[in-house]
Structure 1
Amino acid sequence: MLSTGALRAHLLAARLAGPVATTREESLRSYRLFAARDPRALIGLDPEGTWGQREVMALMADRCGVSADPRHTSGHDVIDPERTLEALDAFARRIGKAARDGVPVLLGTGHPHRLLGFYAALADALSAAGCAVLTPAQGRCVDITTRFGLRTCNLDYVRGVAFVRKPRPGTAGCETGAHTHSPLPVRTALAVAAEAGGPLPELVIGDHGWVCGAGQLGFDAMGLADTDDPALFVGEAEGRVSVAVPLDDAVRSAYYRPLTRYVLNRACLSQ
């Protein structure tokens, strides 16, 4: 059993919180793009409110603990570990409820190299508790616009967790995948599930476009978000994202294992 104090120490030691690798420049660029309604920063969310750069920065200061001073323009960003812990507790409560209710769930990630193991452990625990872990649209092509132009990827699942990968013969089911912020993978998965007559997820867990894309469509969605991912926190503020957990989403995959233990314990799903 991992105590709150031990997890706080781990968050700081692993740089999941405290000073993180994400730079202030990266975060400010994302806030500018979000304020300009650039799809690269919206990642599937259509904000209802007026979110200028200062409003976005103020929200991120409140939800993550980053600096609210617009004159602070360089260096590493900072995440308050207390805010991470508070959000992880809410995240665990929602997972615990899903497990008790036995609802169908969908898990997906835009960071398969880093976060697949974290989500896969949640999928295993939810499945053991009686939840159907959905895998709709496996193998479907998804055309994603990138800075290099249109790229066709395939939707795949490993241990119940969805991600996209560049199509290469003979690689279906492998644990490698492509990094993406796009909401198109979750839209594809949900559309195929609906066309097949269901079931549809009552909870979507993930990051980036998986959360915002599902939340925008009215699904209960929650996940992890870095300081340069303002869309999830705006979605949370506007009621379309249930929980956004502030942390660095690109550290070594092993560093997320203590978070897995903490969340499953709090959700009464320890294996």
Structure 2
Amino acid sequence: MSALVPVVGEQLDPTREELVEHLTATGMAGRVRTPRENNLLHYRLLADRDPYYLLGLDPAGHWTGDSVLELMARKVGVSPLLNHRNGQDTIDPERTADALDRYAERFAAALSERQRVLFATGHPRNLGPLYQRFAAVLRAAGGTVVEAADGWSYEATSSHGRKRLEVRYHQGVAMVEDIGGTAHSHAARPIRAVLAELAARHEPLPDLVLADHGWCGGAAQAGVDAIGFADCNDPALFVGEDEGTVQVAVPLDDGLDPEQYELLGDYVLARVGSAQIRRD
């Protein structure tokens, strides 16, 4: 019989109703801060196959700005109205809760089977502590937190010119850093470097990648199980989920203060425990 999810630190057991209330109260879902015009721009850029917005994925289908909008209305809950061009947009908190349940089911399998899991984020200041919490739970359950390509670096172009970014692990979570510290990133190059180093060391690839942005998309495109969070202006992971490449894409505002995600973490881990009971 598999052990139930270990409790690492204080953990609550919020109901779905409490989760939905929290998502709406914080702006993680409901009426979100991401402007409608920014969403529509990103949908067009994905349809144009701009690498920055593909997040490491290579969609098989022919996508247009309008078809991406239709997908995002269906999977995320943004407004489906073509004449809604400006102002606020929405994420349906019920869709977020549904996706979190699927996310918890896959993470529960990783814990029960003591799998090899890579945790990574392109939003280190916002989502890093949540992933660190999940990594600690996996370790306590006897799974393996995968680390590879620590210190690998590459040059990237930003609005401030060229800069060098380096892969670093903080409490088991991969992220990139520049000279100023941890940095926001959409790139898939880091996860490709991680997978290449594992192959060079003749080590197995991760059974699961729990991540976001290019970390998640690049892993999924390489054929690794990947589940991730994505904002309503980052449609690529939802396209990947629709095409069957990404296992789970969870819609939420990914740029909030880290403490806002603590109740979400409680919800996921409580559902992980319930999923393990069902498995046993």
Length-normalised TM-score, structure 2: 0.91
How far apart are 1:167 and its partner, in Å? Answer: 3.8
Q: Which aligned segments of 4 or more residues in structure 1 are displaced greater than 4 angstroms?
A: none
Residue in structure 1 matching 2:29, options 17, 21, 25? 17
- Counterpart of 2:250 in structure 1 is 245
- Letter matched to residue 195 of structure 1: A
AA paired with 1:243?
A: V
Query: Contact 1:35 / 1:56 at 8 angstroms: preserved in 2?
Result: yes
Measured in 2, the distance between the counterparts of 1:37 and 1:146 equals 19
CA deviation vs aligned residue, 1:181-238 (integer Å, no higher than 9, x gap): 1111111111111111113201001110011111011110011000011100000001
User: Residue 206 of structure 2 is aligned with which of 182, 201, 204?
Assistant: 201
- 2:57 aligned partner: 45
Instruction: State the alpha-carbon separation in 1 of the partners of residues 205 and 32 from structure 2.
Output: 36
Amino acid at match of 1:29: L
Matching of residues 99-248 of structure 1 within 5 Å: 99-167=111-179, 176-248=181-253
| RMSD value, Cα | 1.4
2-side partners of 1:43 and 1:94: how far apart?
A: 21
Separation in 1, partners of 2:246, 2:157: 24
- What's the offset of the Cα at 1:149? 4.0
1:97-155 C-alpha deviation (Å, 9 max, x unpaired): 11111110001000001000111111011111111001101111123333444421110
Q: Which SS does the other structure have where 2:79 is aligned?
A: coil
The one of 251, 254, 257 equivalent to 2:262 is 257
Instruction: Letter of the 1:146 partner, please give it.
Output: S
Q: Distance in 1 between matches of 2:136 and 2:203?
A: 21
Does structure 2 conserve the Cα–Cα contact (< 8 Å) formed by 1:60 and 1:233? Answer: yes
User: Take 2:118 and 2:158, find their aligned partners in 1: how far apart are those partners?
Assistant: 25
Deviation string 1:5-50 (CA, Å, 9 cap, x unpaired) is 1111100111100001111011111001001111111111111001
CA contact (8 A) 1:110 1:207 kept: yes
How high is the TM-score relative to the length of structure 1?
0.94
Contact 1:43 1:182 in 2 (8 A): yes
Q: 1:33 and 1:97 mapped to 2: Cα distance? A: 35
Q: SS of 1:59's equivalent?
A: helix
Q: Distance in 1 between matches of 2:192 and 2:83?
A: 38
Q: Is the 8 A contact 1:142 1:188 kept in 2?
A: no
Contact 1:111 1:250 in 2 (8 A): yes
Question: What 5-or-longer segments of structure 1 have no aligned partner?
Answer: 169-175
Amino acid aligned to 2:41: R
- C-alpha distance in structure 1 between counterparts of 2:193 and 2:58, whole Å: 18
Q: Residues 144 and 184 of structure 1 are in contact (CA less than 8 Å); yes or no, is this contact kept in structure 2?
A: no
Q: How many pairs are equivalent?
A: 263
**How high is the sequence identity, in percent, across the aligned residues?**
46
- Give the residue type in structure 2 aligned to 1:213: G
Q: Please, which runs of 5 or more residues in structure 2 have no aligned partner?
A: 1-12, 275-280
In the alignment, what sits opposite 1:79? 91
Distance apart, 1:253 and its partner CA: 0.6
SS at match of 1:268: helix
